């Protein structure tokens, strides 16, 4: 069962424009959300996270928005740069119950930023 979903397998954006990557989740127990960026043949690199007590977190060009009622989060990259081209994974975790510690990942969205 896919508890974290990234419904867009790919996104293409022009350099300088905004990139918006979306993620939906089904488990209301999730209370911590993370975005990772991954280049081919490398491990995921942590980008930004957000706790369920917040609805927005910003770090430089990256902003994550969380809508708990809709069970939806998004990552905004402004302005987009060619070096941002990578696969972006959304992940979620819960600090309660038997699944404490594990991350649930979406399938990823391939972002391509063209000049």
Partner 1 sequence: NAGVMQNPRHLVRRRGQEARLRCSPMKGHSHVYWYRQLPEEGLKFMVYLQKENIIDESGMPKERFSAEFPKEGPSILRIQQVVRGDSAAYFCASSRGLAEGTDTQYFGPGTRLTVL
- Contacts to partner 1 by CB under 8 A: 4, 6, 31-32, 34, 36, 41-46, 49, 51, 89, 91, 93-96, 98-108
How many whole angstroms separate alpha carbon 105 and alpha carbon 83?
A: 23
CB of 57 to partner 1, least distance (A): 11
Please, which residue, 79 or 99, has the CB nearer to partner 1?
A: 99
Question: In the complex, what is the shortest distance from the CB of residue 95 to partner 1, in angstroms, rounded to a whole number?
Answer: 3
DSSP string, the chain: --SEE---SEEEEETTS-EEEEEEE--TT--EEEEEEE-TTS--EEEEEEETT-SEEEETTEEEEEETTTTEEEEEESS--GGG-EEEEEEEE-SSGGGTT--EE---EEEEEE-
Give the nearer residue to partner 1 in terms of CB position, either 86 or 108.
108
CB of 107 to partner 1, least distance (A): 5
Q: How far is the CB of 61 from partner 1 (least distance, A)?
A: 19
Distance CA(8)–CA(11), nearest Å, equals: 7
């Amino acid at each position: 069962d896919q508890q974290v979903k990234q419904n867009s397998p790919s996104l293409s954006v022009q350099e300088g424009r905004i990139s918006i990557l979306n993620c939906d989740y089904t488990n209301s127990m999730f209370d911590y959300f993370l975005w990772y960026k991954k280049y081919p043949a490398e491990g995921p690199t942590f980008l930004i996270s957000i706790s369920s007590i917040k609805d927005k977190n910003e770090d430089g060009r990256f902003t994550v928005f969380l809508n708990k009622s809709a069970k939806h989060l998004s990552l905004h990259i402004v302005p987009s740069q060619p070096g941002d081209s990578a696969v972006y994974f959304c992940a979620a975790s819960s600090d309660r119950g038997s699944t404490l510690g594990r991350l649930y990942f979406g399938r990823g969205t391939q972002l391509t930023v063209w000049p």
